[in-house]
Amino acid sequence: MKLFNTAQLEAILPKIQNIVNTHIIPLEREYLQQNFSKVKPKLEEIRQKIKKEGLWNPHLSTALGGLGLSLTEFGQVSEALGQSPYGHYCFNCNAPDIGNQELLLGHASNFIKDQFLQPLLEGKIRSCFSMTEPHFAGSNPTEMDTSALKEGNNYIINGKKWFTSSADGASFAVVMANTNPEAENKYQRASMIVVPTDNPGFKLTCNTPIMGDTNDDYFSHGEVSYTNCKVPVKNLIGIEGQGFALAQQRLGPGRIHHCMRWIGICERAFDLMCQRAATRQLAKGVMLGEKQSIQNFIADSRAEINAARFMVLHTATKIDNEGAKTARIEISTIKFYVANVLQRVLDRAIQVHGALGLTDYTVLAFWYRHERAARIYDGPDEVHKAALARQVLKAYGLNTSVV
């Protein structure tokens, strides 16, 4: 979209899109039928090519070897990468690694940056994010049982987490745990601590099967137990009691990343839908795309994708110019709106493909399984809608409470 375009984007985006189209997308059929570890060597070749072309870590500053993009610019890169399930991985800006990178860059000590961040930026290791617990609402990080009690120069961590993103294969976890459980202010009880996954007190108890995928060894979540897990105090990110604030800071840019990735998925699904409509012949030589109901699918999808993209890039520009705190309402709005556009576009694309859409002969079924979570993680639709409505009603003199 020219409205949000820049000279730098015009120079790099065609190169990025070409890599996605010619090197990454052709591997999908093989990926969908095999575990990630079997496809990883081919993806590593692509990663090395990306490094040589100077496109590695596009979200980072030029001082750190990245492209120095604004959030608005990187959002458009994220859309291009989102058109394949492992586009972001190939460019080293996949979740949760990108969020952990941003977190450590902004708040970690030099020790943590040298020990954990640098190999993450080089693509030598992976990381995971460990916050949600089985017995508490994941959208309320002020409530958790996991404790990190200080003993001398160490923290002793005990607790259980689930939906720990990409736990299987990660070299370290960013763990949110209560370091000040008695603090009067509930927002100052938790801290974030780096825990190496080879620590004897860290145990990946199981991978969590998502929508029937039981053998995937990358796009997974896991259950993790921390049992007398001893880590040095110097593994603390920021200061004690800052965990909630850091989690909120992590979410602002993260929602731009996610929403633009979803729009990339929408564009790919839209393209597949239109190709199918234009080439699938029905009875008596009638093409599928000649049916009015299919034309409605196409028109509605095109309008919704365009609207979603404009909303997200408008929000990203506001964050770039004014900071995430001033864009809280916009961030909530795009989170639930784009997640629902994604669901509708994928559903229409599958419907147009008929039985073929249910198979793994296309990427649609994969996305339908994995992206249903878009309306749940990083705050479910209902939470974001309530936050938006409360802000709107304030202008009418009604201060509502959370019910």
CA torsion 116→70→50→360, rounded to 10°? Answer: 90
- Concatenated DSSP letters of 176-199: EEES-TT-SSGGGSEEEEEEETTS
24 versus 1: which is more confidently predicted? 24
Q: What average pLDDT does range 217-222 have in this prediction?
A: 70
Which residue's entry shows tokens 């870590």?
A: 57
Which residues are CB-neighbours of 179 under 8 A, at least 6 positions away?
A: 147, 148, 149, 150, 155, 189, 190, 191, 240, 241, 243
Which residues are CB-neighbours of 153 under 8 A, at least 6 positions away?
A: 232, 233, 234
Q: pLDDT class for 153, splitting at 50, 70, 90? A: very high
Q: Does residue 215 surpass a pLDDT of 80?
A: no
Confidence at residue 218, expressed as pLDDT on a 0 to 100 scale: 57
pLDDT by residue (tens digit) across 295-328? 999 999 999 999 999 999 999 999 999 998 899 8
Percent of the chain exceeding pLDDT 70 equals: 97
Which residue's entry shows tokens 């993209």?
A: 309
Confidence at residue 340, expressed as pLDDT on a 0 to 100 scale: 98
What is the C-alpha separation between 241 and 186, in angstroms, rounded? 9
Q: What average pLDDT does range 59-74 have in this prediction?
A: 96
User: Within 13 A of 205's CA, how many CA atoms are on the CB side?
Assistant: 12
| β-strand pairing of 127-130 with 147-151 | unpaired
Q: Does residue 213 surpass a pLDDT of 90?
A: no
Which residues are CB-neighbours of 390 under 8 A, at least 6 positions away?
A: 399, 400
Both tokens of residue 32? 């969908």
Whole-model pTM: value is 0.94
Contacts 24+ apart (CB under 8 A), 232-236: 232/153, 232/154, 232/155, 233/150, 233/153, 233/154, 233/155, 234/109, 234/111, 234/112, 234/153, 235/112, 235/155, 235/193, 235/194, 235/195, 236/109, 236/155, 236/191, 236/192, 236/193
CA torsion 375→376→382→388, rounded to 10°? Answer: -70
Q: Does residue 137 surpass a pLDDT of 90?
A: no
| β-strand pairing of 221-232 with 202-208 | antiparallel
Q: Does residue 284 surpass a pLDDT of 90?
A: no
Both tokens of residue 141? 């990080």
115 versus 370: which is more confidently predicted? 115
What is the C-alpha separation between 76 and 163, in angstroms, rounded? 28
Confidence at residue 220, expressed as pLDDT on a 0 to 100 scale: 75
Confidence at residue 145, expressed as pLDDT on a 0 to 100 scale: 93
What is the C-alpha separation between 316 and 400, in angstroms, rounded? 28
Q: What average pLDDT does range 35-39 have in this prediction?
A: 78
Q: Please give the domain boundaries of the chain with CATH numbers for all domains.
A: 2-94 (1.10.540.10), 127-241 (2.40.110.10), 248-394 (1.20.140.10)
